[in-house]
Amino acid sequence: MKVFKEIPVEKPNTPLLDSVTYPSDLRSFSINELETLANELREFLLYSVGQSGGHLGGGLGVIELTIILHHLYKTPYDNLVWDVGHQAYPHKILTGRKDKIDTIRKKNGLAPFPSRLESEYDTFGVGHSSTSLSAIVGMAEANRESNPDKKHVAVIGDGAMTAGMAFEALSHIGHLKPNLLIILNDNDMSISENVGGLSNYFSRIWASKTYKGIKKSGASFLKPLPQAYHLARKVETQMKAMVAPGTIFEELGLNYIGPIDGHNLKELKDVISNLKEFEGPQFLHIITKKGAGLDSAEADRIGFHAIGKINSIKDKKSKLKKYQDIFGEWIVDMAEASEDLIAITPAMREGSGLVEFSKKFPNRYFDVAIAEQHSVTFAAGLSVEKKKPVVAIYSTFLQRGYDQLIHDVAVQNLDVTFALDRSGLVGEDGPTHSGNYDIAYLRCIPNMVICTPSDENETRKLLTTAYLHNGPASVRYPRGTGPNSNINKNLQPIKIGEANIIREENSKIIVLNFGTLLEEAKKVSKDLKATLVDMRFVKPLDEKLLKKLFKKAEVFISIEDGSIMGGAGSAVQEFVSKEDLNIKSILFGIPDRFIEHASREEMLSEAGLDINSIKSRLNKLL
């Protein structure tokens, strides 16, 4: 494997890669040509991500695996599913999208993850982790009778193996025994480093056709002697346990092979070419390096998980604090004032702003891995014993713990605070990562308080309010930076449900703002000479204030960075209906469709939430 010192800034010369338009073009390549292709693909990936920005480390780690899978399998006829999709850039390059790879994550460009709408080679759309095994067993079962020759492969990262959903699928696979191959891409981030001569030697034996033949005939020969057969099986299992960490997969009913070197093309080819012909579920454990082939990426795997454009320094030098930084500072300050505070995150320490907290309060910090359901019920258990847990989680990921939120927290009215990062339209990661639905899916839950701060200072203030409230409460805030408001460092709460009148006019029009589109709301209210209220809370609403304002008004306009259906504006409409008030409504929010990846600003425009779109619509309606 060729190792690069830095990301190339000029397009590299890649003659062999240029000859590959689709995977069928590389199926006749010799092992030496595949080695050359791997070096060219790695250099091209470094260059292209340096130009466009995006996920880098995961793709660098699966260069060799991607090449071998497309070399050995008849994709797209054979099913290949990538878990999460951070690692799928090389796959996209080899499947007819090389010339468009510089458009990845841009408006109207390639999707950041595999997408069924984009290519027939993307057999399953992904974004959230740990879905590949459930998907691949469904595909295998659907083809068991009709297309028995069709192959099915899932590549799952070791981080994704920490989720309960993956083990639910493994249990079902062990029961159904379909013909499929699961590849565990262990990139040295959690599981094992048990790679060496002995384990590689046994892995080659266990994955050989000769061994399988002996085992099969031996099983038949020993049928009259069941004790002897079980003894032989037990010896094999114990031998595997000596050199490999795969006993749990064997117990679940899968044939475990590994670990092997995931950067050794010949080893990968020899083992996978045999496994693809075996009957039943196969589990191959490969060891790779995240960021493999780039010195700095290998040294800093977290920092190089995703990068910005290599020549863009503007973002790195920005002095504006991100909302996650506001949360990070608040939780450290609150932990110093409240010794019962416990911070929980499902594998999002950096993204949620918990790095400093984890260092200062290691005994009060819990990263539960990619286990959103567990994180919520774990918090519930802490609350039962009088601790005050704060679950720092992306809005889109809390969807995965919804049952636990209702059943384990809200029904019992437990004191758990949810800090919902990446709420609303998030930008380049697209619809799988946008937090459009938290207001709608939380609003219908009894006992839940929902806070929608409008800027950095309000975020800190409402975090304090939610935390000191004795019961379940959520605070939603977006990705990125705010308007740079002055921050009051005190930890004083405000009254639950109390709105803030920002501009009061003797007007028949009331503008209600929910969240961080306040600047747009200010411009609208100024143009219309309307009263502007920063509502702060979706639940409970400031009903006393609304009743007072609505008695004199003819129309209210609500603005929110969340789903219109079931959102904050809908909550106000329900209040109007309940009180039998005579007032019209105009709701601005995210429409009833998935908005594809683009910058956050472009996505807001697509949703009709930029100032020009809002003004244009109001001009027609008013």
| String of DSSP letters for 135-189 | HHHHHHHHHTTT-TT--EEEEEETGGGGSHHHHHHHHHHHHH--SEEEEEEE-SS
SS3 call for 91: helix
Asked about 456 being catalytic, the answer comes back as: no
Cβ neighbours for 466, distance < 8 A, ≥ 6 positions apart: 417, 449, 451, 473, 474, 475
> What three-state secondary structure class fits 359?
helix
Is residue 532 within 8 Å of residue 521, measured between CB atoms?
yes
Crossing angle of helices 323-337 and 456-468, in 10° steps, is 40
Q: What is the spatial distance between Cα 135 and Cα 154, in angstroms, rounded to a whole number?
A: 9
Strand order of the sheet with strand 388-394? Answer: 365-367, 341-345, 388-394, 417-421, 473-476, 449-451, 537-539
Q: For the CA atoms of 508, 509, 514, 519, what is the dihedral angle to 10 degrees?
A: -130
105 carries an active-site annotation: no
Q: Tokens 């005939």 map to which residue?
A: 217
| Other CB atoms within 10 A of residue 159 CB | 23
3-state DSSP call for residue 531? strand
Taking the C-alpha atoms of residue 155 and residue 577, their distance in angstroms, rounded to an integer, is 52
DSSP letter at 362 equals G
Question: Residues 602, 605, 607, 609: what is their CA dihedral angle, to the nearest 10 degrees?
Answer: 130
d(CA 18, CA 429): 28
Q: How far is CA 494 from CA 135, 411, 455, 468, 471, in A?
A: 47, 25, 15, 10, 16
Instruction: Let me know if 400 is a catalytic residue.
Output: yes
User: What is the maximum span of the chain, computed from C-alpha positions, in angstroms?
Assistant: 95
Token digits of residue 196: 């060496």
DSSP state, residue 528: H
Cα(55)–Cα(63) distance, integer angstroms: 14
SS in 3 state form for 386-401?
Answer: CCEEEEEEEHHHHHHH
Dihedral angle computed from the Cα positions of residues 347, 598, 127 and 136, in that order, rounded to the nearest 10 degrees: -160
Q: Are strands 281-287 and 180-186 parallel, antiparallel or unpaired?
A: parallel
Report the candidate in 172, 240, 248, 246 with the shortest Cα–Cα distance to residue 201: 240
Q: Give yes or no for a cis peptide into 540 (omega within 30° of 0).
A: yes
Considering the candidates 290, 322, 461, 539, report the single residue annotated as catalytic. Answer: 290
Both structure tokens of 296: 């700095």
Catalytic residue among 322, 388, 400, 539: 400
Residues 6+ apart with CB under 8 A from 253: 173, 174, 175, 177, 281
Q: Residues 267, 372, 428, 560: which is the catalytic one?
A: 372
Q: In what order do the strands lie in the sheet with 500-503?
A: 500-503, 531-534, 509-514, 555-563, 584-590
Active site members:
290, 372, 400
